[in-house]
Each structure stands twice: as structure tokens, then as C-alpha cells.
Structure 1
Amino acid sequence: MTAGQTDHVDALRALLGEKGLVAGGDLSAYETGARYDHGRAAFVMRPATTAELSDAVAYCVRHGIAVIPQSGNTGLVSGSTPDDTGSQAVLSLERMTTVYDIDPVNRTVRAGAGWRLSALNERLDAHGLFFPIDLGADPMLGGMIATNTGGSRFLRYGDVRSNTLGLTTVLADTAGTVLDLGSGLRKDNTGIDWKQLFIGSCGALGVVTECVLKLEPLPQQSATTLLVPSSADAVPALLVAMERACGATLSAFEGMSGNAIRAAFAHVPSLRNPFENGNVPEFVILAELTRSNTAREGEQPLDAMLEEVLAEIWENGEDLLADALMGPPQEIWALRHALSDGVKNAGRLIAFDLAFRRGDVMKFLSHMKAELAVAFPMLSVCDFGHLGDGGVHFNLVTPRDHAALAEPGFETSVRDLVYSVAVERFDGSFSAEHGIGRKNQIYYDRFTPEVIRDLAARLKKAISPAPLGAADFSNTITK
């Protein structure tokens, strides 16, 4: 640590207290990301309140120290870890849990940005409520807002943006300006909805410290099934048929490739393989129906409703289904939630988070698998994702001992190919919900129109001018 950095550490420790500043020693927990990224932090700031966070950010801005906000550090695009210069300060939200105020009648909670999703929902369970973003990871609320997380039940509940009523954010200016944007109102049309600027902005425009979230009643009834479509072309029609027959009870429609499922079984031997003779199909859909009311006398149970709907689809002559397996929801969801770790442990992973129009998802998968088989035959495609909203976790696995991994530019060449096909051929998004981060910066610069990049840079300069976060919106002003 340089003499200058020591001075900064002493000054920030005076602002944040002994628990609020970590310097020297082992900082690897803050320097290592969830997916291979690693950097070096000058020090780590751990404020516990909005006021402390404001003071810390203001100090860093006045002294030219770049700040990397870090929430749960579960992101996959190097958006929450420092670079390798050792000059950036990590701003951890892990102590931002002092705020928790639930309003059961309004179905809202005001919470600090450091609350983990699991911890929040554990508290809300006593009130029969939950924050309806379903994820395999366990992020913090601040990061979820910064990346506008979606999840497996987007089809029913929408994304974080749809469920955020207000937030408090700190700007990267010399004052560490605090903006309190919104309360628990669902309707407030008195001007620009400023909170929307910060949701999904990757932390570049401000650091979220508190949020007001809309809650939903916990499901009281559920039914799940694993569907095997007759072909890739049948999947869009199957989705539409399920939506028309099930209405608002359809809460999930998740696609899982055979490769991803096999990786999950290999990584988690305790998972039950429900397929005949253990033969995993090449593509499987997890469909779920839920109701938030307790079962009423005379009401058709969801299991019976699901069986009836599938029978109707089977008999309508469109040849959409090859098989359907009913099972306990917790067992079926255990398989879905094991996919990510299973794929990660299958080899060296190159992961993509893509989005398409719903009717284009299977077309992209078919096209991309055929093209990769020629261009990069060593890659195994282990895709899964949210068919109901057009999202795809397009994961490519390389054996860890394969010579291609030692070739300079190998991963970049793979990413260039996949992103160019996704964006230019299928008019998709190169980041459905993971954000911009250092891994996606070059693709933001490549695929975002110049007029939009220019506007983003001007907005960044106007409201939060200092370096904040890994996404760089400030160096694209050309006029």
C-alpha cells in the first residue's frame, strides 16, 4: 500500500469506523468474482448506513479514487470486482442491512441494499409474502436493482423493475448527493420517474442504498411438470397453448437442454432422475402453475388442472408433446436450480446471458449449435433459460485440459461469434439481465448505437460524473 493510500485508509476509517474499512491482509473475498474474474482492490469500504456511504463516495470523488460498488458479488460479467491496477476501491454493501420496514397492508417492504434475497424472503415468510424474483444465486437487493434481475418466474411476476416502487441512491459527485426516489406508492404521476434511471444501470449512475419493493402473496398451491416437446419447432406453440389454457396460473416455463441436465445429475448425485431408464431427453421444459389462495371446496386442484390441460394439448392433433412427467414441485425445482453449478463444474465455462423474441429462442439455439459444431467442435452447449420471457443462459463448456484454452484470443473469438449471431442475425440482446461489466463493455461499445452511447455518456456526466462501477459510460462522448 502506498503512502497516499494509507492516508486515504486512515481518513475513511475515521468516517466509517473500524468495521467499515478493510485494508491490507487477505481481500480475496472482495477481489474474486463468481466466474473466473479477479482483481486487486486498494481497500474495501463497508458502510452501514446511507449517510456513511454518502460520506465515503464523496471522499473518493474528491480524491480521484474510482469506486466499484459490490453487492452480493454473484454477477457473471466482472461488474462487481476491481481491475488489476490495485487503485480502485471496492464499496461493499454487505453491512447495509439496518433498514427493514414491512407494510403488510400495502404489501411493500423498505429494506437496505445489503439484504440477501434469501434472508429477506425468510423474514417475509411470516407475513405470507415474498419478493417474487426466483434465482439460482443468492444476490443482494442493491445488485438486483442495478442489473434489473429477472429470474425463473418473470413470466408471472415480471423483473425487478416491475416490482420496485422506490429507492434511495447516492451519486458519484463531490457531495455524495443522496436522492430519495419514491415511497410505497404504486401510482405517482407527478413528474419524471427518476428511479427508473438507476434500475438496470449497472451501478454507473449511482449506488442504491435502500429500496421499496412490491411484495406478492406466497403461493399456497402449485403443480409442476417436465415437458418433452416433440421438436424444437413445437416449443413456441406449446408455450402459447399453455398460456391460453392456464391463464395467470402459469408461473414458469423454463427450458433445459439435455447437456445441462446431465451436468446437474453428475454434479449433484442426490437428484432423482425422473426420465425413463435414466435417458435424458435433448430438451425439457419445466412448467409450473401456482395460486396464492388456499384451496377452496369444489375448486379444481392444480395437479388435476395441469393434467387436463396437457391431455387437451396432447389430443388436439398439433403434435406438440412427446412426453410429460408430473412430480413434486420441490424435486423438480431442485433439478432446475442445480443446472448452473452443474454446468460450471463440467469444465471451463464461457457463459452468455441472451434475450430474444420468444418465437426466436429455439431458432437461435438450433442455428448456433450447428454453427458452433463447425467453428468450435470442442465446445459442449449446455443451455437453459426462461422460455416464457425469451431469456437464454447460453453456456459453452470446454474440457479443462483442452489445448484451445491456451490459445490467445480463443474465448474472445467464441464470444464474438455468439454475440454477432445473437444481435445481428436474430436482433437479440447481448445481456438479458447480467449487465455491462468489463466482460461486456466491448459489446456495449460495438452494438449500442452511437446516439444512445452519446446520450448515456452525457447523462452520466450530468448526474454522477466520477468513475463508478465497472461499466464505462463516460468515455464515449464524441462531440
Structure 2
Amino acid sequence: MILPEGIRAITEPKDMAAFLQGVRGETGNSPAVLLPETTEQVAQCQRYLESIDTPFVAQSGNTGLVGASVPDDTGTQVLLSLSRLRDTFELDLANRSLRVSAGFRLSEVNDRLAEHGLFFPIDLGSDPMIGGMLATNTGGGRFLRYGDVRRNTLGLTVVTGDEVLRLGSPVRKDNTGPDWKQMHIGSCGWFGTITEAILSLEPVVTDQATALVVPSSDAGMLTLLRHLETRVGPLLSAFEFMSRAAMAHTFDHAAALKNPFARGEIPETAVLIELSRPTKAPWDTALDEVLEAVLSEAWELPEAPIEDALFGRPQEIWALRHALSEGVKSAGPLIAFDLGFTRDKVIAFRAAMTRKLAADFPMMEICDFGHLGDGGLHFNLVKTDGPVESAFEQELRDYVVDEAVTAFGGSFSAEHGIGPKNIKYLEKTPDFQKAWHSGAGNPVLSGSGLIPRV
């Protein structure tokens, strides 16, 4: 392989190892890992690989959960790492925007912005790179207040098969034509590799109030959510539910976490509620008082949606929420789903699957949690009787996805993108079939999902 001049490549197996394994244990093989440092070098790599008819996998932060960030095991796919794309970090304070390379991690971006009182408002338990966040349209825990990556992106630079596209601009109001950047955000790499973005920023939150609420019933969670949205409006920044099984495994795994529940008895479900704002004006009521007041009102509602409420420091309460993924992962062989529904269907789906799995897959323990405020559900199933065989996993995945999509009108990928774990379900969707038959190309797995090779 003779690469364009100036582009670094890794070919030694021991040096490539870290790039060829995903966070859920997926592994692959590759003849080389390419490490471009600029948009133009990415373009040179892609043109070169196209000229020798070699498929590639574009890898961002390698934090994805659907197996899309590593090559397959054929050893024919080159890995194109975006980790060295770090040449641009241009903050425009007046416009409250940031032009940034795709290789910066979310934590790095927010650390640099903190001194200016700004942040990129996507809250995650992991630490992905900006390119991967854009390719998968990440949401996160504060979607309810700030929306997803799509809502907070002004412009993109994308390398397609033969050119570099600059889409959008720092101008927020521009209706001079179609918003082409939106075709790439959340597209999982179908049309090209994102190398740079212009992000819209938000003032750092300095005033917060949080509570862990024990709902009186699953239906009570929706009653409480509607009450909060009516009474506090945009102050409501998070409404996250956690199941008892997920919390129990997390407390077992993370010994430093404090169990805040009375006598240590973990409830069937708990809801993390957060109110927040950038600053507190002299005339503003303290958010702790606001939260206590609206929850007291909820106690008096005819539906009585609250059984208990625990108030505490935001960092401590969020520590439990952010530890859930690792806690569940530690419980045993895990089969995880990232599902999206209308908000009422989250509750209905959970109830139906609790009954159905107990009958048809009794060895699976439901350890779910999610973003009830936006309909997102991390539906995690832990196998309690031994290892997961590939045939069994596929049978269970088909079972759960069919129920979610067919019976409840949901999405099989709320924010994790498309990869080997779920591509078969994409291929069955009407939109995919239309694109395929209209000549969109032959999709092959890439770093964030799919790249059409036209």
C-alpha cells in the first residue's frame, strides 16, 4: 500500500490492536490504520482507497455500542482513524459558536469552553469525539432541554468520494436553499466522512436543583412529567428513569456510590429530575425551592404520581445515572438495545416486554433505564444462566426489535446509529428499500454505519 505523502499509517498488529476492538468486545482485522491530520488528508486517503477499490471503516472515538467502529474480520477493510483531526478550534464568542475538528473529544471541547462560560450541551456517560456524535446524532441525558446534536449544529465539512463539501455556516437564520448538512447528521456515514463542524454553544449551567423521585406507578411517571413541563417549562432539563435491577447492579459494581434510598431498599423505579438555568437573578426563587414546590403540588394531584422524593447534590444524583451503563455491563452477558418511542409507548412497551420475556426468555433480566422525557429507552437484557451464543442473541434481538417496531411503532436505533448489531433491521425499512432500488448504491459497513459505494 503506497499512501499519499505525509499520511501516517500503522501496520503492526500490536500497534493496531487498540483500534480494532470496540467497547462491547467486537473485534476485527485490517491491513492498516490510516491517521490523517487534516480534511485534505482525509480526502487524499479516500481518493486513494477508492482508486485501489479498497473499502474502509472511518473510526471516530470508538465508543459506539452497535459494532460499527471496527472493521469486519475479513482483513480487507482499511481503518481510517479520525483521532488526529485536531487542527481547528476556533471560538466565536460574539456568535456563541465553535468551529472544531472532528477528532476532539466532547470532554476536551467543554474543558476549553468552560473558561468562557460556554459548553456544548450534549450530556453523555461516555466521551465520544465530535465526528462520531454528528454521524450518529447523539442525544443524551439533557435532550429534553437542549435537543440533540442536530439541533445544535450550524455547519459541517464532509469528505465525499471525490470532493470536500462545506455545508451550512455560522449564520443561524439562512433560508437560501435546502439545509444539506442535515442529510449527514445522523446518517451514520452514508454519504461521506465528517471532518469538521460549526457548533452552537450554550451558557454553562451554574444553578441546578435535582431530586430522585419514586413514582407511585409507571403511569404516574408520565403524569409527573406533564405536570413539571406545565409548571416549570424550560427550567426542566432532565427527566430520566432508572429500573431497580439497573440501580442494584450499579450499586454492587460501584462501591463508592451512595445508596440514597430509605433503609437501602431500592424502589421498582426511580426518576432523576433536574431543573437548571445559567444564572440566578436577584429576583429569582431558588431552584431547590421551585422543585420542592412543584413536587409538593404533584403529591396533591388526583393521580398521586409520587410515592417519595429525595433531594441531594446534583453531582451525587447524576453520578448514579452516569454509572448505570457500566453497572449493567458488570452484571453478566449483556444484550443491549437502544430504542425510541413516543413517550406513552415507553411505559406500554416495558410492561408488555416484562410479561413476554418472563414467558419466552425467562433467563433474561431486564435492567433498563432511559430518557423518558424524549422517549428514549436503553433496554438492557442480562443473561442469568451462562454465556450468550450468537444464534440465541440473534433470535432475541429479532424478538425485541419486532415487538418495538411492529407492535409499538418505535425505532430500533434511538441514538446509537447503525452497525453490525442492527443493520439487518435497517435493510427491512421502507426508506432503505426505496433508496436501494433508486440506485443509492451498495452500502458497506463503515466507522459510523454505512457509506454508499456508488
TM-score (norm 1): 0.91
Question: Which residue matches 2:388?
Answer: 405
Secondary structure of the residue aligned to 2:304 is coil
Question: Match for 1:358 among 343, 358, 370?
Answer: 343
Question: Match for 1:262 among 226, 248, 258?
Answer: 248
Question: Match for 1:331 among 312, 316, 335?
Answer: 316
Question: Which residue matches 1:454?
Answer: 434
Q: How does 1:361-400 map to 2 (within 5 A)?
A: 361-399=346-384
Distance 1:152 1:16 in 2: 40
Secondary structure of the residue aligned to 1:102 is strand
5+ residue gaps, structure 2: none
CA separation of 1:473/1:97 partners in 2, compared to 1, >3 Å: closer, same or farther? closer
Distance 1:94 1:127 in 2: 25
Distance 1:233 1:413 in 2: 30
Distance 2:221 2:99 in 1: 40
Please state if 1:346 is matched with 2:336: no
Distance 1:66 1:336 in 2: 39
| Alpha-carbon offset, residue 474 of structure 1 | 4.9
CA separation of 1:467/1:460 partners in 2, compared to 1, >3 Å: closer, same or farther? farther
| Alpha-carbon offset, residue 454 of structure 1 | 2.6
| Alpha-carbon offset, residue 133 of structure 1 | 0.2
Please state if 1:417 is matched with 2:399: yes
Secondary structure of the residue aligned to 1:41 is coil
| Alpha-carbon offset, residue 459 of structure 1 | 7.0
Letter of the aligned partner of 2:150 in structure 1? R
Question: Which residue matches 1:163?
Answer: 152
Distance 2:78 2:112 in 1: 32
Letter of the aligned partner of 1:220 in structure 2? T
Distance 1:16 1:267 in 2: 46
| Alpha-carbon offset, residue 445 of structure 1 | 1.4
Letter of the aligned partner of 1:330 in structure 2? Q
Question: Which residue matches 1:3?
Answer: none
Identity across aligned pairs (percent)?
Answer: 50
Q: How does 1:72-91 map to 2 (within 5 A)?
A: 72-91=61-80
Q: How does 1:468-479 map to 2 (within 5 A)?
A: 468-469=446-447, 471-472=449-450, 474=452
Question: Which residue matches 1:21?
Answer: 9
| Alpha-carbon offset, residue 297 of structure 1 | 2.2
Q: How many residues in Structure 1 have an aligned counterpart in Structure 2?
A: 453
Q: How does 1:311-330 map to 2 (within 5 A)?
A: 311-330=296-315
Distance 1:71 1:471 in 2: 11
Higher helix share: 1
Give CA-to-partner distance per residue, 1:159-194, whole Å, 9 cap, x none: 0000000000000x2x3x100112211111111111
Q: How does 1:165-314 map to 2 (within 5 A)?
A: 165-171=154-160, 173=161, 175=162, 177-293=163-279, 295-314=280-299
Give CA-to-partner distance per residue, 1:399-454, whole Å, 9 cap, x none: 3xx34624x511011101110110000000000011111111111112x11x5433
Question: Which residue matches 2:424?
Answer: 442
Letter of the aligned partner of 2:314 in structure 1? P
For the Cα contact (< 8 Å) 1:79–1:436, is it kept in 2?
yes
CA separation of 1:189/1:226 partners in 2, compared to 1, >3 Å: closer, same or farther? same
Letter of the aligned partner of 1:24 in structure 2? E
Secondary structure of the residue aligned to 2:427 is helix
Please state if 1:129 is matched with 2:118: yes
Distance 1:455 1:139 in 2: 29
Question: Which residue matches 1:5?
Answer: none
TM-score (norm 2): 0.96
CA separation of 1:383/1:467 partners in 2, compared to 1, >3 Å: closer, same or farther? closer
| Alpha-carbon offset, residue 67 of structure 1 | 1.0
Give CA-to-partner distance per residue, 1:18-52, whole Å, 9 cap, x none: xx211123112111011121111111011110011
Q: How does 1:3-42 map to 2 (within 5 A)?
A: 8=1, 11-12=2-3, 14-17=4-7, 20-26=8-14, 27-42=16-31
Distance 1:385 1:16 in 2: 45
CA separation of 1:367/1:258 partners in 2, compared to 1, >3 Å: closer, same or farther? same
RMSD of aligned residue pairs (Cα, Å): 1.8
